[in-house]
Amino acid sequence: MQFVSPRDWKDVIFSFVFAGLLAGCGSSDVDRYKVSGTVTYKGEPVKAGQVIFESDPAEENTGPQSYARIKNGVFQTRSIGGPVIVRIVPCDGNASPALPFGNPILKTACETRIELSFESSKQGFVVPKQEEVTTQTTDLEVELIDGLPVS
């Protein structure tokens, strides 16, 4: 997992919101699949934030970016299948005009790579505790939940 420096948070959040708006402007001939799931931090649901799914060019996957708002630990969106980069920005939910999801609860954004199926799926993300983040990279735990109905 890679991280973004704290001084870049406003730019990161603006970029995610802007990219989300652009995602709606992309080509409609790309197949997208329902992706939903949970995001937790220290065993509790993340109150607010974003989960961003971006095609992984290192794995020769192409397609539009998708994003989902995290609300009370739950997210839902539609995304391309195949190898993707997942970025998670967990926030405290105390919204303000400058920070619509509240303050980031980590000093850095989390990033990992996963393989999304070419059908509806559920994902579970466990954000590492802030105390555990001591280097520029670490592992974001991903729990794939197969066979469960997607609401």
105-140 per-position pLDDT tens digit: 888 788 999 999 999 999 999 998 764 444 344 455
Q: Give the per-residue pLDDT at 108.
A: 79
| Cα→Cα distances 68→71, 86, 128, 136, Å | 9, 11, 20, 25
Q: Does domain 6-145 have CATH number 2.60.40.10?
A: yes
pLDDT at 70 exceeding the cut of 50: yes
DSSP 34-86: EEEEEEEETTEE--EEEEEEEE-GGGT-----EEEEEETTEEEEEE--EEEEE
Tokens 């939910």: give the residue: 93
Closest CA to 23 of 63, 59, 71: 63
- pLDDT, position 148: 46
Q: 3-state class of 108 per DSSP? A: coil
